[in-house]
């Protein structure tokens, strides 16, 4: 005779509920109906989730306070769950569910705060300071000496759509990593043109930002990584991470420039230097276009 035993019911793992500070860039996605997502990448201080949608690339960065605060991030105070690439997640109905963690936004932060009016003379004085700091830094951009990068700088300074769009077509997705160097540089250019151009009253720079944004986001999902494509869409709207925003404030005289630029340059392998190079190109374009407007 055999004695049967009833299998024990498996105990469901309890979900940990937590709150975080979310970028307003995520508000529409979080407040939409619940939908599936998947883990794109997982690191000790950050998890990247891709939400399945037919619209522009939708990527959420769930990060701790020790990570870079990207414009599409929710920042949490506690530890992140153990997940692997390809794991299922869910986003919507006000929450993010990944692994055993359920997250809700308890406050929001703006990834594109306006700078307010800035004297163009101040920006002109900031350009050589930024150029000197970047040139002295040991942190070099990944595309230093690249012809397309030079073409982009020349096109922006002259508001030449042909040159700018031609350069952008070559730069999107150029370089290795989750955020290729070409994308990081373009993101820096976009936010500088939009924010500094608006602050200094240089409408031509904002006009150029609109056209460049259209060029870099067109089919970005098919030309670069999902994470980088999402960040390009953020930059097209003027949304940026905390380190980039700090440099913009430094250029505008709202805070010290040198420490802000130093923090930006330290990011990643070349990402910080690539972003700084883009900001420098955008700043130079705003100064150049503002001077031309003054001549007329």
Contacts of 175 (CB under 8 A, 6+ apart): 142, 143, 181, 182, 183, 270
The pTM for the full model equals 0.91
Mean local confidence (pLDDT), 111-115:
96
Residue 4 clears pLDDT 50, i.e. is over it: no
What is the CA angle 162-168-172, rounded to 5?
Answer: 160
pLDDT at 219: 87
pLDDT at 186: 98
The answer to which of 2-11, 53-62, 77-86, 202-211 has the lowest mean pLDDT is 2-11
pLDDT band at 290 (very low <50, low <70, confident <90, very high): very high
Q: CATH 2.40.50 occupies which residues in the chain? A: 16-109
Strand partners, 188: none
Q: What's 16-109's CATH class? A: mainly beta
Which one is predicted more confidently, 167 or 9? 167
Mean local confidence (pLDDT), 100-123:
95
**CA 286/CA 196 separation, integer angstroms:** 7
The answer to which of 173-177, 206-210, 271-275 has the lowest mean pLDDT is 173-177
């Amino acid at each position: 005779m055999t004695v049967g035993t009833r299998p024990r019911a498996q105990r469901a793992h309890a979900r940990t509920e937590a709150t975080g500070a979310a970028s307003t860039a995520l508000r529409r996605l979080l407040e939409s109906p619940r939908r599936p997502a998947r883990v794109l990448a997982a690191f000790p201080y950050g998890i990247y989730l891709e939400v399945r949608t037919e619209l522009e690339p939708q990527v959420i960065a769930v990060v701790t306070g020790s990570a870079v605060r990207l414009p599409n991030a929710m920042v949490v105070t506690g530890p992140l769950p153990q997940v692997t690439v390809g794991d299922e997640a869910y986003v919507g109905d006000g929450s993010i569910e990944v692994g055993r963690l359920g997250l809700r936004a308890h406050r929001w932060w703006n990834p594109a705060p306006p700078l307010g009016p800035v004297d163009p003379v101040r920006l002109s004085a900031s350009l050589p300071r930024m150029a000197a700091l970047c040139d002295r830094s040991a942190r070099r951009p990944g595309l230093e000496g690249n012809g397309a990068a030079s073409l982009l700088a020349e096109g922006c300074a002259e508001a030449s759509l042909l040159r700018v769009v031609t350069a952008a077509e070559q730069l999107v997705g150029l370089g290795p990593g989750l955020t290729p160097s070409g994308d990081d540089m373009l993101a820096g250019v976009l936010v500088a043109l939009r924010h500094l151009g608006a602050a200094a009253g240089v409408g031509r720079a904002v006009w150029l930002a609109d056209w460049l944004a259209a060029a870099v986001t067109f089919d970005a999902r098919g030309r670069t990584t999902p994470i980088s494509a999402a960040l390009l869409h953020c930059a097209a709207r003027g949304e940026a991470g905390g380190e980039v925003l700090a440099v913009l404030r430094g250029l505008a005289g709202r805070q010290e420039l040198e420490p802000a630029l130093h923090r930006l340059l330290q990011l990643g392998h070349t990402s910080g230097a690539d972003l700084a190079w883009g900001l420098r190109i955008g700043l130079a374009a705003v100064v150049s276009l503002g001077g031309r407007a003054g001549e007329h």
